[in-house]
Amino acid sequence: MSVIIPCRNEENFIAGCLDSVIANDYPAGRLEILVVDGMSTDRTPAILSNYAKNRENLRVLNNPRKITPVSLNIGARNASGELIMRMDAHAKISNDYIRRCVETSLASGADNVGGVMKTLPQSDGIFAQTVAECLSHRFGVGGSAFRTGASRRVEVDTVFGGCYRREVFERVGYWNEDIPRSQDIEFNRRLKRAGGRIILDPEIVSYYYVRSDPKTFLKHNWTNGVWAILPFLYCDAPPVSWRHLVPLAFISALGAACALATVTHIGTWLLCGIVAVYAAACLGASVAIAVQKKRLRLAVFSPIVFAMLHLTYGLGSVWGLIRIGVHLLCFSWRLRRNNET
């Protein structure tokens, strides 16, 4: 087993991540840990150097291009394991995570296996806790089984991280280096189109520390929304699932209703209807979270967090669509100029 951990400026999380890998009950002699550092400027290199000193199975590699898919490809090309597992520096894994990945891979014959990701807040406070709950609810993230959970082993379209058979990379290639975000989603969709199988086992558990202050949360959602759309520029087939496009459809419907409302009362009624349906669904999901967690305040903060999540993601997707349009217009203009000359 080779574990690849891409990182950049992760001084607050990389030690906990590595500790969770090292503490696994998988035989150390069969485990290789490759940390690929994207030229960190904080204490991350010093922390990595300290960990690598006395561990023959841990190597630190450098990525001068700094972006995640390049780090993943550097790790995969340097990995010696029959199985190659991708891990996030913001995450920790349970003590039996690696062993269970191996067992599930062997038992199922799947090309990629993974488990459920339990979302944890990076800080204390009701807002941070609400973010973690909303990102684990179907209303917040759709049918993403690795976030919302499963009761048994099930075939899915993607998993968090993922444990791949080495031959997968020979069959479908490596991570797309034109896509600094959403590269896992695109890679797994490519694998599925090639006939690959991805299995989620709920007994495989990881813990992810989500960005949970309002400013960082909004920025992260905006970027995720942008990169739900931009990969269409670099892929021959749809690089994301339909659920990643739902916020774009929501924002587009709101925008169309607002525009229509300026010329007819039908638009006003349509806008009110969209807002009312969303508000009802949002309130219902928020109450369900509060009841499940037995915390009334979650019913107050969850609608705010849901709205922040969906609106910023959707607006980011609109911006991504605009960027694609501008790119295609510029490409068309350059092509016409070249033909004229």
90 in a domain, yes or no? yes
142 in a domain, yes or no? yes
Does 174 lie in the same domain as 250? no
Q: Considering 212, 234, 261, which residue would you say is the last residue of a domain?
A: 212
Q: Which residue has the tokens 């406070």?
A: 125
Residue 318 burial by CB count (10 A; 0-12/13-18/19+): exposed, middle or buried? Answer: middle
Does 104 lie in the same domain as 170? yes
- What is the predicted pLDDT for the residue at 337? 80
Does 40 lie in the same domain as 166? yes
What are the tens digits of pLDDT across the range 48-107? 999 999 898 999 999 999 999 999 999 999 999 999 999 999 899 999 999 999 999 999
Distances (CA, A) of 282 to 67, 69, 271, 288, 304: 35, 35, 16, 10, 9
What are the tens digits of pLDDT across the range 133-146? 999 999 998 878 88
Does 68 lie in the same domain as 189? yes
Does 252 lie in the same domain as 191? no
- What is the predicted pLDDT for the residue at 75? 96
Does 139 lie in the same domain as 13? yes
Does 190 lie in the same domain as 54? yes
Does 202 lie in the same domain as 272? no
Which domain covers residue 267, as residue numbers? 243-340
Percent of the chain with pLDDT over 90: 80
- What is the predicted pLDDT for the residue at 156? 92
For the chain, the average pLDDT equals 92
Q: What is the mean pLDDT of residues 31-36?
A: 96
Q: Considering 169, 196, 212, which residue would you say is the last residue of a domain?
A: 212
Distances (CA, A) of 214 to 28, 74, 101, 256, 312: 40, 34, 35, 28, 12
Q: Which residue has the tokens 């780090």?
A: 71
- What is the predicted pLDDT for the residue at 32? 96
* 3-state secondary structure at position 120: strand
Phi, psi (rounded to 5 degrees) for 210? -85, 150
272 in a domain, yes or no? yes
Phi, psi (rounded to 5 degrees) for 74? -60, -45
Does 259 lie in the same domain as 324? yes
* pLDDT reading at 319 higher than 80: yes
60 in a domain, yes or no? yes
Q: What is the mean pLDDT of residues 174-201?
A: 92
What are the tens digits of pLDDT across the range 138-183? 999 887 888 888 888 999 988 988 999 999 999 999 999 999 888 8
11 in a domain, yes or no? yes
Does 178 lie in the same domain as 62? yes
Distances (CA, A) of 210 to 57, 151, 222, 241, 281: 29, 23, 15, 22, 24
| Cβ neighbours for 292, distance < 8 A, ≥ 6 positions apart | none
Q: What is the mean pLDDT of residues 216-231?
A: 93
* pLDDT reading at 250 higher than 90: yes
275 in a domain, yes or no? yes
Does 184 lie in the same domain as 137? yes
234 in a domain, yes or no? no
Q: What's the pLDDT band for 204 if we cut at 50, 70, 90? A: very high
307 in a domain, yes or no? yes
Number of independent structural domains in the chain: 2
Does 52 lie in the same domain as 175? yes
What is the CATH classification number for the domain harbouring 59? 3.90.550.10
Report for 27-31, 34-38, 153-157: range of highest mean pLDDT: 34-38
Distance between CA 318 and CA 262 in Å, rounded? Answer: 21
* pLDDT reading at 340 higher than 80: no
Q: Which helix (H) or strand (E) is 6 found in, with range? A: strand 2-7
